[in-house]
Structure 1
Amino acid sequence: MENPSKIEEGGVTYSLGTFDGKQVFYDFPKILVYLEAKGKRLFGRDFTLHEEDGEMLLKLSNYFIRDHENCEKDGIDPDKGILLTGPVGCGKTCLMKLMRHIAPHQRQYEVIPARNIAFSFNHIGFKTIEDYGNGMFYCFDDLGVEPMGRYYGKDCNVMGEILISRHELFQRHKVRTHATTNLNSDELEERYGSRVRSRMRQMFNLIAFDKDTTDKRI
């Protein structure tokens, strides 16, 4: 039987915990070792995890390995998606690209910049909204700063419409949606309206970087 507690990366086997044949017992320090190694392969040798983000990394890890007991302690619903918020440059996109690798046996999601979706709408119209309202798992990156869509003279809040469609998928089929954003709740409501913001509360677990987190791109 394949051992889901071990992941091979670049010819090196990383142990994320122990496997008794039925269940994986994860070890958070080992998860961090793997995440740092995988991050360097994905984003370059200068990538590093920051001690100041430890609590948030633990919450994300518990969510993605579906540790129901610890998720409950943190008020996280494993059946909802993640809305990862924080200042510009704090590492939201990198983490959402990285975290999906710690449980490769689970259904994966694709990270898509929200602005790319808006640009797609400008070219092909409402089919874009249909395409992202399907049963795939997505993480919409930089939600809320994408431009308004415009197709044949008609304006459309593209991501707002897609979030409504994704909410329906979540309600009916528990299809999860993730997102990253620099905006706070009031700014998101201003961008998408109270109807969408209400649906977002039902769809997402909010996990936030500290507002004083440094810009890691510098």
Structure 2
Amino acid sequence: MDNPSKIIEGGVEFSLGKFDGKNVLYDFDKILIYLNAKGKLLFGKHFKIYDEDTEIIRQLCYYFIKDKTNCEQAGIDPEKGVLLSGPVGCGKTSLMKLLKYLVPLQRPYMLAPCRNIVFGFNHLGYKIIEDYGDSSPICFDDLGVEPMGRHYGKDCNVMGEVLLSRYELYLQTKSKIKTHATTNLNAEELEERYGNRVRSRMRELFNLIAFDKNTNDKRK
């Protein structure tokens, strides 16, 4: 791939900005055109990027393209992961699925629904916590609404344990391996769900990027 400012999707070439031989000088309007087109390919013709969401998308783009100046202005630390919060149906999961395509040279993260991780724990036990605490980049989808885990009669706050493992990994790898998450919950609700210790680790692990709580449900 000679020019990282260009991406080909469905036989169409999209420009994300200009490449000066070393760096891509990104153009946000061009990025939006690409994301709209890629979103339609991924999720179907009904997909669209809403004007009301462009500010959130702009922050996410700064993060993923590692635009240090704009990240600093927005209070985003490129070394941490992203915790994308917002009401049900505002498009968090779609955006996290979509944005990794913006930077094809970065190691992609997989999306893992938290309830599936808990179901896995119920069958396989603590091996699941080890598996998800490992060295793959990951985005935990729908954090905080998963059920409590139960294996051989013992209850376990599975995602709380997984987050503690990911925090240890973050410290060991100096943030080379990213952990992301989406959630419908606010900070107080997350603390109630996982306790103060996990919540304080989450502050170190994630940049919080939040939709307005009145954002429309796009699935209606």
Distance 2:111 2:7 in 1: 21
Q: Does 1:201 align with 2:207?
A: no
Q: Kindly, what percent of the aligned residue pairs are identical?
A: 67
TM-score using structure 2 length: 0.98
> Gaps spanning 5+ residues in structure 1: where?
none
Distance 2:126 2:154 in 1: 11
Which runs of 5 or more residues in structure 2 are unaligned?
A: none
1:154-165 correspondence runs (5 A): 154-165=154-165
In 1, the alpha carbon distance for the partners of 2:75 and 2:137 equals 22
Q: How far did 1:152 drift? A: 0.7
CA distance in 2, matches of 1:193, 1:176: 22
Structure 2 counterpart of 1:180: 182
Is structure 2 residue 86 aligned with structure 1 residue 86? Answer: yes
How many angstroms apart in 2 are the aligned matches of 1:2 and 1:10? 19
For the residues of structure 2 that align with 1:120 and 1:17, how far apart are their CA atoms?
A: 42
Q: Structure 1: which amino acid aligns with 2:192?
A: E
Q: 2:66 matched to 1:66?
A: yes
User: How much has 1:20 moved relative to structure 2?
Assistant: 1.2
SS at structure 2 position matched to 1:193: helix
Partner-residue secondary structure (3-state), 1:94? helix
Deviations along 1:63-106, one digit per CA (max 9) or x if unpaired, are: 00000110000000000000000000000000000011000111
Superposition deviation, residue 130 in structure 1: 0.4
Mapped partners of 1:169, 1:69: distance in 2: 27
Amino acid across the alignment from 1:208: A
Q: Name the structure 2 match of 1:120.
A: 120
Q: CA deviation at 1:172?
A: 1.5
Quote the offset at 1:54 in angstroms: 1.1
User: Match of 1:151?
Assistant: 151
Q: 1:21 Cα deviation (Å)?
A: 1.2
Q: Which residue matches 2:106? A: 106
Give runs of aligned pairs for residues 7-26 of structure 1, distance below 5 A. Answer: 7-26=7-26
Runs of 4+ aligned structure 1 residues displaced above 3 Å come to none
For 1:216, the equivalent position in structure 2 comes to 218
How far, CA to CA, are the matches of 1:95 and 1:125 in structure 2?
31
Secondary structure in structure 2 of the residue aligned to 1:33: helix
How far has the Cα of 1:2 moved from its partner? 1.4
Q: CA RMSD in A?
A: 0.7
Letter in 2 for 1:100: K
